A and B are shown apart, each in its own frame.
Chain A
Amino acid sequence: MINDAIGFFFSQFGLSTGQIEGLLATALGRGGDYADLYFEYRINNSVAFEERIIKTASRSVAQGVGVRVIAGDKTGYAYTEEIAIESIRQAAATASFIARTGGTTEPLGVNATANLHDLYKVETPVSAIDLSHKINLLKQADEVARAFDQRIREVQAGVHDEMKYVMIATSDGRLVGDVQPLVRMGMTCIADDDGNRQVGRGGGGGRVGIEFFEEAMTPEAMARAVAGQAIIQLEAVPAPAGTMEVVLGPGWPGILLHEAVGHGLESDFNRKGSSAFTGRLGERVASELCTVVDDGTIPGRRGSLNIDDEGQPTGRTVLIEKGVLCAYMSDHLNAELMGAAPTGNGRRQSYKHIPLPRMTNTFMMAGDSDPQAIIRSVKRGLYAVQFAGGQVDITNGEFAFSASEAYLIEDGKVTAPVRGATLRGNGPEALKRVTAVGNDLQLDSGVGMCGKEGQQIPVGVGLPTIKISEMTVGGTRA
């Protein structure tokens, strides 16, 4: 599929290698160390099913080229939505103003290369299949959710798919491309028991074809999980308030890592010295049981990419090894400035956005403990299995993530479900309190979205069952 993207842009918009080299030269015309062009053509489709009908369907087509010039630690950026030489040249000229030192870097001739990875072997992307297939999935999900329990009153479900062609040309001579499919099916259920109203949410997907919803996550499985969550919440009691032992279930609770250490290990903050993890490479930041990895090379995952949005192959970066901090995640600019190797973590929301160091799939490696034994080891605590979202202040390390499905643990047994409570901790300290790591690593189902500096990108998280010896639970029952 790789050179399909380069071929697509060249033929669709009448481009040539010579013209691309000319554009890079214009970008570096006033000076600077590096320039790149990011071509994007993107189709997004959506279909919404609610109140038992196909409420609405939509389709968006977007395209553009972003031109970036780097001079030292400064970035100039401009974009155009007209993929035509003259418009891109104007954008390149605008971006070039960041450099004031006079032309020094000559762009190398670009050579198209194939990608190292081929992570999305999708025969027929969901964006190309007939709407009726997607509608059938939603109808099935709706029926199962409503049949699950008569207290399920409202059911909303949707399929959102995307097809993105990208082509990236760099002043150090690279010309690469990628065709990136992405799909997500999501559902929300409202349960109503005589005025006691509760909500369940869920879904899944990835860089996969429609077969994903016949095997990995069927509409039935999604519907039972989401309706089930809403019904469980009907019985929920107030969550406890205070510090206690917390057991996190496998999969999506990996959001703990994304917030506690993930953002804090992005190299822009560390290069600038504003992260709680700045200058701490080689130090212990977690218990010995913790090995945390960011891996963009896992086939088919929502957070995976063949190449990052700067044209660098993605990689597997061990961030924390047996509790010791060993790496940051870098984009081109910060890797250069820190004298570090690139890690393939330069991502951007679209051609309108400047790349930043971002995560891909961030998870903890499996340990040796039996998950059931972990729960049995807790006298009084919380067992949290689903979360809404989270956030972090990377400077002081304070992070929070909000449980949407959690239970009390009493004398080693999972008992009553509790109403949503936020768990909080401090990044460099929280993982030092991980006292057990299960053997059941799971990655999330494929619904994660991460925001940073106004840029939303798809990501993945993962976790085995883990026990944290103490964590603040923000309940109402002190």
Chain B
Amino acid sequence: MRYELTKATAQRLAGEAVRRGASAAEVFMKRRKEFAVSVRLGDVEKVKEAIDQTLGLRVLIDGQQASVSCSDFSEDVVLQVLGEAIELARATSPDESAGLPEASEMASELPDLDLFDEEIERLPTEKKIDMALAAERAAQDYSERIINFDGGGLDTASSTIVLANSLGFAGEYQRTLISLAAVPVAADDQGRLQRDYWYDMRRRLDELAEPEAIGRMAAERTLRKLNGRSVPTQSVPVVFDPLMAASLLGHLFEGLSGEAIFRRSSFLVDQLGESIASPRLTVVDDGLKKGGLGSRPFDGEGLPTRRTVLIRDGILESYLLNSYTARKLGLRSTGNAARGLVGAPSVNAGNLTIEAGTHTPAEIIGAVTRGLYLTEMIGQGVNIVTGDYSRSAGGLWIENGELTFPVQGVTIAGNLKEMLRAVEMVGNDLNFRSQVVAPTLLIGRMTISA
């Protein structure tokens, strides 16, 4: 007998866990249909297509906690791992902060967030291949310096997610995803190669950028890197382009996550209510944005998702929390629990945004006499405990408010605490092609090393 992926199954299994000795249980089931095609030089390179599924079960015996997962939904396997979960839980220590949320807090009316697009389900394979090839062709046609491609293609995914627990909560939703990328390679006069990319990613087919536009942008970005050179070591203003500003926002998320805060391993510990950033900065997490890449009707513990202002005009108003971290900190969950296959729930963002400011990117670049327009970073080099920030960088040099030669072979360094305070201008250019989105930002001063 194989279990079906339904709310009823999940509820039944949660009940079975309680019957076998758990004081509480939570069951997560997911099925995902995926398709990926990569193209190269006018033809298909790789095609992958499959359906995967998993079942995750978390059990609590008062404060003791364990979790299991399996991909085989046959009854004997599922009941076997369920039994193992109970045994494992008995081997752990009681933790008074562990436990399901309060029954009264569970999500009840699940909003329709427009996360599923039938058109993506129906899109034929041939059309997907055509779109991927169209993006590549547009990049190729953009310039004769585009001589090769490395990666690039179209992916679709369609998932069903079910969550139920022994408090009586049972929820289900479906979502679709489509993404298209082009990765051109260009050569300069000396034959030195540069590679860049552009992409778009949405939940609805009609929101996806035109393949040709993606291809042209990818080509433009690649050509922009040709003949890059370094600049001398110095401290200058740095303009973060939207993708780079989003990566900064990603690090801010790590520092605001309840997981880092309760462990006192964040540079933002003990600062609720304090001014931690420039007054121009407002950061919001929204789990309810219609069609949002980070939206879902309930979080990984079944709590309602919501819109939370994290930083308002530079003041830290809230962390991002799940039930566990909320209890540890004497606060309330913000509906940001993340459910992995196994393990205790962690924390993730919904749609995390730095709110748009009033300046165009051109105005921001125009305001810099001498500095770096940052378009690329590689390496780790970010310490969330201390805020220390040091990464290899690339971009375009700004001279008298104009973009000039490409820069490569430098690092930028600073500390997140100072960088947040040093945000002098915030752009108006938000584009929601990701779960973490930011506009162009001007940071007053960072150290460039060469």
* Residues from chain B with Cβ under 8 Å of A402 in the complex: 379-381, 390-391
**Are the CB atoms of B50 and A453 closer together than 8 Å?**
no
B411 to chain A, nearest CB (A): 3
B50 & A352 in contact (Cβ 8 Å cutoff): yes
Interface stretch, picked from B61-69, B106-114, B209-217, is B61-69
Is B412 part of the contact surface with A, judged by Cβ < 8 Å?
Answer: yes
Q: Indicate if A273 sits at the interface (CB-CB under 8 A).
A: yes
Inside 8 A of B49's CB, which chain A residues have their CB? 77-78, 94
Q: Which residues in B have their C-beta under 8 angstroms from that of A199?
A: 265, 383, 385-386
Give B230-250 interface residues, CB cut-off 8 Å to A. Answer: 233-235
From A156, A188, A241, contact of B233 by CB (8 A): A241
Q: Mark A445-478, 1 if CB is under 8 A from B, else 0.
A: 0000000010000000000000000001111111
Partner of A58, one of B52, B68, B380: B68
- Nearest neighbor of A53 in chain B, beta-carbon distance: B93
B4 within 8 A of A: no
Q: Count residues of A near B (Cβ-Cβ below 8 Å).
A: 80
Contact check, A274 vs B195: say whether CB atoms are below 8 A apart.
yes
B402 contacts across to A, CB distance below 8 A: none
Interface residues of B in 135-165 (CB under 8 A from A): 148, 150-151
Instruction: Please judge, given known A-B contacts A54-B92, A63-B71, A453-B151, whether A390 and B380 are in contact too, CB under 8 Å.
Output: yes
- In the complex, given contacts A60-B341, A61-B70, A422-B391, what are 14 additional A-B residue pairs having Cβ atoms less than 8 angstroms apart? A53-B94, A54-B92, A57-B66, A59-B84, A78-B48, A79-B50, A94-B49, A192-B264, A242-B450, A400-B378, A400-B411, A422-B413, A476-B415, A477-B447
A-B contact list, 19 entries, CB within 8 Å: A57-B91, A60-B341, A60-B342, A64-B52, A79-B50, A98-B47, A131-B88, A190-B385, A199-B383, A199-B385, A272-B148, A352-B52, A389-B380, A393-B378, A398-B394, A420-B381, A421-B411, A472-B411, A474-B411
Residue of A at shortest CB range from B234?
A478
Within 8 Å CB of B344, what residues of A? 55-56
Cβ B92 vs Cβ A56 within 8 A: yes
**CB-based contact B225/A81 at 8 Å:** no
B274 interfacial contact with A, CB 8 Å: no
Q: B416 CB to closest chain A CB, in angstroms? A: 12
**Residues in A neighbouring B410, C-beta threshold 8 A:** 424, 472
A170 to chain B, nearest CB (A): 18
Q: Given A81-B53, A190-B265, A478-B235: A420 and B185 within 8 A (CB)?
A: no
Choose from A80, A241, A474 the contact partner of B392 (Cβ within 8 Å). Answer: A474
Pairwise interchain contact B342-A154, C-beta atoms closer than 8 A: no
Which one of A68-76, A118-126, A307-315 contacts B? A68-76
Taken together as a complex, chains A and B put the C-alpha atoms of A91 and B448 apart, in Å, by 52
B269 within 8 A of A: yes
| Chain B residues within an 8 Å CB radius of A272 | 40, 148, 150
| Cβ A61 vs Cβ B225 within 8 A | no
Residue B414 CB within 8 A of the other chain? yes
Q: Mark A395-429, 1 if CB is under 8 A from B, else 0.
A: 11011111000000000000000011110101000
In the complex, are the beta carbons of A61 and B450 less than 8 A apart? no
Task: Give Cα A354 to B36, complex, Å.
Answer: 11
Task: Pick the contact of A419: B77, B193, B388 (CB < 8 A).
Answer: B388
| 8 Å CB interface, A210-226 against B | none
Nearest B residue to A82 by beta-carbon distance? B72
Q: A132 touching B91 by the CB < 8 A rule?
A: yes
If A241-B413, A476-B413 touch, whether A398 touches B408 (CB-CB below 8 Å) is: yes
B265 contacts which of A48, A81, A154, A426 (Cβ < 8 Å)? Answer: A154
Closest to A61 in B: B70
Count chain B CB atoms within 10 A of each CB in A76, A389, A478 and give the residue with the most: A478
Q: Which of B65, B84, B234, B383 contacts A56 (CB 8 A)?
A: B65
In the complex, B118 has a CB within 8 A of chain A: no
A165 to chain B, nearest CB (A): 14
Residues of B close to A274: CB separation below 8 A: 148, 150, 185, 193, 195
A294 CB to nearest chain B CB (Å)? 21
Distance from A269 Cβ to chain B, minimum over Cβ atoms (Å): 7
Interchain CA distance A74-B72 in the complex, whole Å: 31
A388 interfacial by beta-carbon distance below 8 Å = yes
Nearest Cβ on chain A to B176's Cβ, whole angstroms: 19
Q: How far is the CA of A476 from the CA of B419 in the complex (A)?
A: 13
Whether A242 pairs with B449 at a CB distance below 8 angstroms is yes
Please determine whether B148 and A273 come into contact, CB atoms closer than 8 angstroms.
Answer: yes
Q: Which residues of A contact B381 (CB under 8 A)?
A: 388, 400, 402, 420-422, 474
Check A475/B67 contact, CB under 8 A, given A46-B342, A75-B45.
no
In the bound assembly, the distance between CA atoms of A39 and B353 in angstroms comes to 42
Chain B residues within 8 Å of A453, by CB: 151
In-complex Cβ contact of A54 among B69, B91, B449 (8 A): B91
Say if the beta carbon of A171 comes within 8 Å of chain B: no
- State whether the Cβ of A9 lies closer than 8 Å to any Cβ in chain B: no
Residues of B within 8 A of A354 (CB): 46, 48
Q: Please tell me if the beta carbons of B46 and A56 are within 8 angstroms of each other in the complex.
A: no
Q: Do A424 and B52 have beta carbons less than 8 Å apart?
A: no
Q: Is the beta-carbon distance between A46 and B343 smaller than 8 angstroms?
A: yes
A243 neighbours in B (Cβ, 8 Å): 233, 450
B8 within 8 A of A: no
- Distance A190 CA – B384 CA, assembled complex (angstroms): 12
A326 interface residue per 8 A CB criterion: no
Query: B386-416 vs A: 1/0 string, CB under 8 Å?
Result: 1010111010000000000000111111110
The 6 tightest CB contacts between A and B, nearest first, are A474-B411, A400-B379, A400-B392, A395-B195, A53-B93, A402-B381
Judge if A362 is at the interface, Cβ distance under 8 Å: no
Kindly state whether residue A433 has any CB partner on chain B within 8 Å.
Answer: no
Task: Give the complex CA separation of A46 and B342 in angstroms.
Answer: 9
A197 adjacent to chain B (CB < 8 Å): yes
**Cβ contact of B88, chosen from A57, A156, A388, cutoff 8 A:** A57
- Residue B192 at the chain A interface, CB threshold 8 Å: yes
Interface flag for B119 (CB, 8 Å)? no
User: Whole-angstrom distance from the CB of B383 to the nearest CB of chain A?
Assistant: 5
B44 within 8 A of A: yes
A476 touches B48 (CB 8 A): no
Known contacts A478-B233, A478-B235; A396/B91 CB under 8 A? no
Q: Are A135 and B47 in contact (CB under 8 A)?
A: no
